[in-house]
Amino acid sequence: MSWKDYMPGRMKFVGCQGSVLTAILAAFVGASMEKKLRKIMPNALDLIMTPFLVMLGTFLVVMLGIGPIMHVVELKLVTVVEHLVHLPFGISGFLIGATYPLLVITGLHHTYTMIETSLLANTGFNPVITLCAMYGFANVGTCLAFFVKSKNQGVRSTSIGAMLSQLFGISEPVLFGIQLRYNLRPLLIMLFTSGLGAALLSVLGIQSNSYGLAVLPSYLMYIYKGSQLLWYFIISVCSVACCFVLTCLFGIPKEVLEEDGEEAAFGKIMQKTMPEITSPATGTLVPLNEVGDEIFANKVLGDGFAIDITEGRILAPVDGTVAAAFDTGHAVGIRTEDGREILVHIGINTVELGGQGFCLLVEQGQTVKRGDLMVEVDMDYVKGKGKDLTTMVLFTSGEHVAVKDYRRVTAGEGLDLIVQPA
């Protein structure tokens, strides 16, 4: 490429559309830029300028750097896989069959479409999809093993649901719901079984004349030749059986063998009490769905609870950093060390007062402790303007919140909450 190629109208753009690696890195760059910009951007400009600058910066980085580089990387990966297909003694089958599920987990399996298209165009056959399909049958064996061995009804229900999805080609419920959940043992067994089945297919030269089908629909790929279909059927059934036996023997964790109970570890979202949350104000706890505003009541901004406040001192409910401090004083957002984001919103439609009646005592980026005074409210003034002072405490990072007891509380008092991770 000469210097003329860089002149206006001569720049060569690399087609990185659909590149998984590019998308992953672009997301990382965008997230990093947003975090840094949020810290330095004035509140008045944050809502508009931060997203604009993040999009612009990410676009330039992708187009001028990440995109072309990742395009070359993925082309090299395609070349490597094409060479693997031709390795003798079933080595190619085992390597592809054992590694393909890992690519599915990361999303990189979409790069195989280029390989399969190239093989079909040049040879009329596609041996890659044959090898890759074995992991779906191995997943069925995993589901059957968990269903048979588990005494936990949650496990059994989840296993059946995941198996039904897998039979028609959807593997994520098995991968993320079972195999990655228990110390990777079920995953490792599945990888070995998938590789073994793919190795046998490779030795026998079993290949399809299409691509894109998995598990039960995959049998349609071999209707052109009866012997191919028969061997594919035998090996696929053996893959299910092999993974089932190995998972039953070595892949079932102890917690799955326990009876249903309060501590059942599968099929339930882990719950944890959060005593570190304290009441930001004095008043009476109110269910969020009873708040007189549809946005809060429908939990559009997040789950949480409300307080019908009786005093105008608003305290920090958690330890953390002030992520947002509105100039109007009607709301303060706090980010905890473990990444939870909590918004304390004082009143309904109080932003319309333009800050009158509110005295904001914290600023963005400031570190606060539980019980630190954040806002003072002139309750008489705000009520005189016809505003409802019901104060919402919202978990904007997506957690589900349950209050054990809706009662009268005082500012700084510990709350009994059950929070389910997002």
Active site residues: 345
d(CA 173, CA 159) in angstroms, rounded, equals: 9
Burial status of residue 147 (CB atoms within 10 A of its CB: 0-12, 13-18, 19 or more):
middle
Taking phi first (over 0 means left), then psi (-120 to 50 degrees means alpha), and beta for anything else, what does residue 183 get?
left
> Do residues 301 and 326 touch, judged by C-beta distance below 8 A?
no
d(CA 193, CA 72) in angstroms, rounded, equals: 32
d(CA 332, CA 44) in angstroms, rounded, equals: 15
Give the tokens for residue 159: 């296993």
Q: b/e string for 398-422 if b means 16 or more Cβ within 10 A?
A: ebbbebeeeeebebbeebebebbee
Q: What are the angstrom distances between the C-alpha of 384 and each of 82, 218, 354, 388, 398?
A: 75, 70, 15, 10, 35
